[in-house]
Amino acid sequence: MKDKSKLVYCARCLMPNTRPRIQYDANGVCNACLWAEEKKKIDWKHRWEELEAVCEKHRARNKNNFDVIVPYSGGKNGAYIAYTLKEKLGMHPLCVTIRPPMEDPIGIQNIKNFLERGYDHLMITPNRLVERAIDRENFVNKGIPMHAFMIAVQTAIMRTAVNYDIPFVMFAEEGETEYGGSTKLKNRHTYDVEDGINLYLSGVDPAKYLDSFSEKELYWFQYPSPERISALKPEISHWSYFEDFVNYKHYLVAKEKLGLQERLERNIGAIENFSATDTDIIHLYFYLMYIKFGFGRTTSEIGNEIRRGAMTRKQGLNIVKKFDGEYPEKHIPSYLKYYDMSREEFDSVIDKWANKELFEKVDGRWVPVFEPC
């Protein structure tokens, strides 16, 4: 028997109360939906002028060097941001890709297509053996399948900023604010190392891995020294502070201007085929999110569509019931190879992290005992 009382859902979108750091107002509306309303009152013209001033400051400082680093996965957001900075704001961006494990060919092709449009680019491949060891440890002990990549997106980008003397970095959205987490940074366009650890690395300081690996092995997985960071005076920013962040708009621009291609099929557990095309391990990430918290990739995507007015809650509810939490069956052999695990070991990790209050195992697969409502 389904128990609808297992989870409490936002009255406006479908994000449940199991999302870390989510909050609801007295009317049962989550902070992501409240932020969507608040954004309608923001003076975006003023914030764009702030961006122009920041760009001017860094152009004047950097002269013939690069003006800004754009972390770029090969997807729509980094492409859109690099394009806008270069073509509309006259900046000289250095796009930096941190190579993920289990790269998807479509993601690699998208990087090639993008670079054919005339962008400067660095591709960083952190130590693959260290990456795999960190990922295995976090998959087993925390149910996080790609933590090393998440670390490197923060630390290797900061390394590059220091090494190339480029203090201005432009990430995409501040995900906590946009999707229903902490609102600490909603009115700030910069963040520091402490915020990066607490908000984007699950509170895990990458320095803990110095107990297991040498500093050389961890080069891309460690922040530069506090002295070097302080000397650089980095301005690590999010684009979502300066412009209303609409994923679909970015997709359209990246497709039209920068050669972005989609996967041939709908993403597993999702409603679209154009996001997170860089790695196949992302499907395991979203599946684990689903069995730990009771919401998956579809719920997240539907929330965005409801908040931008492209879908009603009722429409979204039907889609969530159909697609959320799909099991990434076809990629399991690749996961076993990556983690160097038997199928039994892999399944035991999945079992370990399945929320027994929300799921029961039926015929070898975890199924919800709740129903989104």
Ordered structural domains, the chain, with CATH: 24-41+292-368 (no CATH), 44-241 (3.40.50.620)
**pLDDT value, residue 302:** 94
**pLDDT value, residue 1:** 45
Which tens digit of pLDDT belongs to each residue from 229-271? 999 999 999 999 999 999 999 999 999 999 999 988 899 999 9
Q: What is the percentage of the chain residues whose pLDDT exceeds 90?
A: 90
Rounded-to-integer distance, Cα 110 and Cα 76, Å: 9
Bridge partner residues of 69 (DSSP): 94, 169
Which tens digit of pLDDT belongs to each residue from 156-165? 999 999 999 9
Smallest Cα–Cα separation from 146: which of 207, 98, 214?
98
The answer to whether the pTM exceeds 0.95 is: no
Tell me the DSSP string of 73-98: -SSHHHHHHHHHHHHTT---EEEEEE
Rounded-to-integer distance, Cα 79 and Cα 87, Å: 12
Bridge partner residues of 95 (DSSP): 70, 121
Instruction: Inform me whether the pLDDT recorded for 4 exceeds 80.
Output: no
